[in-house]
């Protein structure tokens, strides 16, 4: 039986990413894994729902109060992964549960390993993995990528048509629909997966090229009402979410670029990516160290 407390130094530090990645790595060994979220902040409910939906672990689906944790001790060689709020777990909780604590902090943020625990660094760039005393997860575009929903909030855009994926679709790349390129060449828009294209609402030929390529999101900038033909094309295809942003192209791109790395961890693609990273970084011996075994 092992219990891991995973907490971040701040919201968005990557605690949920680490918790999910470790749960996936542990599940690969054949051990039963339960992932829960401690109550105490506004992200707790969403995290608990995410954990309950993991295909390789179990979870209650709702944030837990500290008094309820004694009933969750895993049986046999099972593992309980418990994410705590950014403020940290209540004093003495690790000792009461016999748990090992992991503190998650982005590279460059001052932090120290908790007593008897480990410091986990996220967004580590140019740092060799496996450095003594800490686990380092490299910067990753997919894990930092926002959703269409966050892009809508950041740009103040109005939704004109939603794709089948909707607001949960992940955006890895922002591409400006340049005036100079050949709008009939859809390969310009197909260079990267999970792309949002930003172009002026008046540039109908560029917008149509983006829609034909099936980009995840098309943002029409400038606030002008678009051609009805664009609306019909987007509604018929359902591959692309079509947005109308009030600001110009430069301002809109600036607004949406600033949200990378700030979106709460969620989505099947990010769950899979977190598992891949943890599997590459943590061998059996390193896993035993993290679990305090």
- The confidence score (pLDDT) of residue 195 equals 94
Is residue 217 a contact partner of residue 197, using CB atoms and an 8 Å limit?
yes
- The confidence score (pLDDT) of residue 256 equals 92
Q: Where do runs of H (alpha helix) occur along the chain?
A: 15-27, 44-52, 93-97, 141-144, 148-155, 204-213, 228-237, 249-257, 268-281, 284-290
Going by C-alpha positions, the residue among 30, 36, 37 that lies closest to residue 76 is 30
Going by C-alpha positions, the residue among 276, 286, 293, 291 that lies closest to residue 17 is 276
- The confidence score (pLDDT) of residue 193 equals 87
Distances (CA, A) of 202 to 18, 175, 198, 218, 226: 44, 17, 12, 13, 7
Could you tell me which residues are beta bridge partners of residue 197?
175, 218
Going by C-alpha positions, the residue among 273, 267, 209 that lies closest to residue 240 is 209
Three-class SS state of 180:
coil
Q: Note the Cα 146 to chain centre separation in Å.
A: 7
pTM: 0.84
Dist. CA 47–CA 49, nearest whole Å: 5
Report residue 41 as tokens: 């902040």
- The confidence score (pLDDT) of residue 272 equals 94
Report residue 97 as tokens: 């549960």
User: pLDDT (tens digit, 0 to 9) for every residue of the chain, 293 residues total?
Assistant: 799 999 999 988 999 999 999 999 999 999 999 999 999 999 999 999 999 999 999 999 999 998 888 777 666 789 999 999 987 777 788 888 889 999 999 988 888 888 888 889 888 765 555 444 578 888 898 999 999 999 999 999 999 999 999 999 999 999 998 655 565 567 778 888 899 999 999 999 889 989 988 999 999 999 999 999 899 989 888 899 999 999 999 999 999 988 988 888 888 899 999 999 999 999 999 999 888 87
Q: Note the Cα 167 to chain centre separation in Å.
A: 14
- The confidence score (pLDDT) of residue 87 equals 75
């Amino acid at each position: 039986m092992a219990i891991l407390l995973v907490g971040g130094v701040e919201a968005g530090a990557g605690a949920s990413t680490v918790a999910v990645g470790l749960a996936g790595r542990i599940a690969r060994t054949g051990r039963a894994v339960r992932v829960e979220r401690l109550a105490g902040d506004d992200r707790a409910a969403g995290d608990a729902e995410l954990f309950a939906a993991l295909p390789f672990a179990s979870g209650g689906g709702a944030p837990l109060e500290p008094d309820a944790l004694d009933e969750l001790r895993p049986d046999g060689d099972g593992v309980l992964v418990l994410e705590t709020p950014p403020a940290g777990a209540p004093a003495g909780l690790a000792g009461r549960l016999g748990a090992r604590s992991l503190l998650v902090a982005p590279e460059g943020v001052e932090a120290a390993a908790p007593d008897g625990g480990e410091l986990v660094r996220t967004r580590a760039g140019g740092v060799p993995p496996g450095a003594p005393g800490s686990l380092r997860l490299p910067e990753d575009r997919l894990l930092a990528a926002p959703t269409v929903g966050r892009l809508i909030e950041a740009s103040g855009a109005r939704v004109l048509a939603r794709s089948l994926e909707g607001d949960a679709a992940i955006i890895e790349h922002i591409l400006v629909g340049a005036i100079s390129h050949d709008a009939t060449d859809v390969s310009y828009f197909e260079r990267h997966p999970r792309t949002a294209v930003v172009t002026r609402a008046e540039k109908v030929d560029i917008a149509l090229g983006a829609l034909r390529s099936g980009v995840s999101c098309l943002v029409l900038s400038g606030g002008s009402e678009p051609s009805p033909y664009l609306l019909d094309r987007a509604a018929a295809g359902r591959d692309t979410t079509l947005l109308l942003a009030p600001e110009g192209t430069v301002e809109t791109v600036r607004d949406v670029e600033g949200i990378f790395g700030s979106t709460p961890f969620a989505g099947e693609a990010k769950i899979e990516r977190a598992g891949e990273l943890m599997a590459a970084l943590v061998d059996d011996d390193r896993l035993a160290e993290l679990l305090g075994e």
